[in-house]
Amino acid sequence: MKLKAWAAALGLFAGGMVLGQAFQGDIGQMRDVTPAAAVSTAETVYAEYVTLSLNAKSAAQISQIADEARVRMDLIQVKQNAEIIRQLTLFNSKK
C-alpha cells in the first residue's frame, strides 16, 4: 500500500511540475515552431533518455531518468497545446 501511495504522490508531483511550467506563460519555445522542429525536440529528449539510461547503474536511476524524460515530453505537449489554443483563439477573433 505504501508503494501505491508513493507512486501516486510522485505522479502528482510530476503532473504539478508540468502544469507549473505550462502556466508560467512561457510558450515561446513552441511559438511558430514547425512540426518538424517539434519532432526534433522530442527526439532530442528521447536520445538523451536512451544515453542516460544506458549509463545508469541501477533500476532506481533508470526510473528517475524515465520520469524526468516523461515530464519533459509532457511539457512539450502542454506547450504545443497552449500554442494551438493561442492560434485557434487568434483565428476565431479574426472571423
Q: Comparing C-alpha atoms, which of 72, 78, 83 is closest to residue 41?
A: 72
Residue 91 has pLDDT above 70, yes or no: yes
Give the pLDDT confidence score for residue 29 in this predicted structure.
62
Give the tens place of pLDDT for each residue, 32-80.
677 777 778 778 888 888 888 888 888 888 888 888 888 888 888 887 8
Residue 23 has pLDDT above 60, yes or no: no
Into how many domains does the chain fold? 1
**How far apart, in whole angstroms, are the C-alpha atoms of residue 50 and residue 52?**
6
Model pTM score: 0.53
Range of the domain at 70: 2-93
Give the pLDDT confidence score for residue 13 in this predicted structure.
59
